[in-house]
Amino acid sequence: MFKKILTTTSNYISLVKFAHTLFALPFALIGFFIAVHQYPERFTLWLFLEVLLCMVFARNSAMAFNRYADRHFDAKNPRTAWREIPANVIKADSALVFVILNCCLFILTTYFINPLVFFLSPVALTVILGYSYTKRFTWLAHLVLGLGLSLAPIGAYLAVTGHFSLLPILFSIIVLFWVSGFDVIYALQDEDFDKSLNLKSIPAFMGKKNALLTSVILHLISATFVVVAGILGQTGILFWAGASVFVILLVYQHFLVKPHDLSKVNLAFFTTNSFAGVIFSTAVILDLFIKM
């Protein structure tokens, strides 16, 4: 019985690619600690836990729903046929129940945070779940994915403060273009498959060379807003050190992937960007509380 529980848990962790939480969570922590730095009296461990739970529930919902919505496409794609639903490791109906459960837990958790976060929770779910269908009608789907993950910094800030502010919005914009850029790189793998089923993506629309150029532009925009956030936030040396590493890693991933060589896409997509997010967020948070 215990072994079965472990296996099932492992399957669902794989379903939602839990390790990819490293893309959004670091920036959620930035939003949270910007708010705590401004309003230290509002910090509680319970609030911090609630924010983490919201992140987990929202991401579980989004990722599992994406797998559910794309299950028929995944079954036809040799690169994704091994995924849990097409491989029948997890039943489609079970995945949908998992999505609904996580959506309910997300909304319930926001209820205990503050009214604004609670009332905006359906909006957040609409964006992150709606992304799963965008590839059917627009090649701008990458930007919708970026938008979904970009809700993390501002959402965490709202959880503490209950109001909007420019600085966390700037970090949300950084996430929007950062994620969009590396998702374009990841989508290079499916250019031919997407064309065959009339699915929309920047690589399918523009070809590999122009898609990579578009990714560069998106990352340049992200890097620009890193600088803007640093200036407007009156940040110190730690911020700029982390920002430098972040930008260097953005540049580095574009040397890893070529139109004629996609062998290092996973290195560029996951490893490089995971390090970029974690290092940058750590530097930003330390800079808030340790001025050098």
Reported as a single tens digit per residue, the pLDDT across 203-230 is 999 999 999 999 999 999 999 999 999 9
pLDDT at 13: 87
Give the confidence band of 5 by pLDDT, cuts at 50, 70, 90: confident
The C-alpha atoms of residue 286 and residue 239 are separated, in whole angstroms, by: 8
Domain boundaries, the chain: 21-289
261 DSSP β-pair partners: 258
| Mean pLDDT for the stretch of residues 42-71 | 96
| Mean pLDDT for the stretch of residues 13-28 | 83
Q: Please say if the pLDDT value at position 184 is more than 90.
A: yes
The answer to whether the beta carbons of residues 280 and 26 sit under 8 Å apart is yes
Q: Please say if the pLDDT value at position 233 is more than 90.
A: yes
The answer to whether the beta carbons of residues 44 and 178 sit under 8 Å apart is no
pLDDT at 292: 63
Residue with tokens 């992937």: 257
The C-alpha atoms of residue 116 and residue 43 are separated, in whole angstroms, by: 18
Q: What number of other Cβ atoms are within 10 A of residue 117's Cβ? A: 22
The C-alpha atoms of residue 106 and residue 125 are separated, in whole angstroms, by: 9
Q: Please say if the pLDDT value at position 19 is more than 80.
A: no
Structure tokens at 9: 């848990």
E strand or H helix at 178 = helix 166-187
| Mean pLDDT for the stretch of residues 21-32 | 90
For 63-107, write each residue's pLDDT tens digit: 999 999 999 999 999 999 999 999 999 999 999 999 999 999 999
DSSP annotation string for 48-86 = HHHHHHHHHHHHHHHHHHHHHHTHHHHHH-TTTTTSTTT
Q: Please say if the pLDDT value at position 30 is more than 80.
A: yes
Q: What angle do CA 174, 177, 180 make, to 5 degrees?
A: 140
pLDDT at 242: 98
pLDDT at 73: 96
Q: Classify residue 159 as exposed, middle or buried by CB count within 10 Å of its CB (0-12, 13-18, 19+).
A: buried
pLDDT at 227: 98
DSSP state, 267? I
pLDDT at 87: 95
pLDDT at 23: 78
Structure tokens at 52: 């983490």
Give the confidence band of 18 by pLDDT, cuts at 50, 70, 90: confident
pLDDT at 1: 72
**pTM of the full structure:** 0.96
Phi, psi of 258 (to 5 degrees): -125, 155
The 3-state DSSP class for residue 258 equals strand
For 110-162, write each residue's pLDDT tens digit: 999 999 999 999 999 999 999 999 999 999 999 999 999 999 999 999 999 99
Give the confidence band of 267 by pLDDT, cuts at 50, 70, 90: confident
Q: Tell me the C-alpha to C-alpha distance, in Å, between residue 196 and each of 140, 190, 254.
A: 18, 10, 27
Instruction: Share the mean pLDDT of the chain.
Output: 94
CB under 8 Å to 43, separation ≥6 — which residues?
Answer: 36, 160
Q: 1.10.10.10, 3.40.50.11690, 1.10.287.3510, 1.10.357.140: which CATH number matches 21-289?
A: 1.10.357.140
Give the confidence band of 24 by pLDDT, cuts at 50, 70, 90: confident
Strands (E), 145-274: none
Measured between its terminal Cα atoms, the distance across the chain in Å is 54
Q: Please say if the pLDDT value at position 182 is more than 90.
A: yes
The C-alpha atoms of residue 248 and residue 257 are separated, in whole angstroms, by: 15
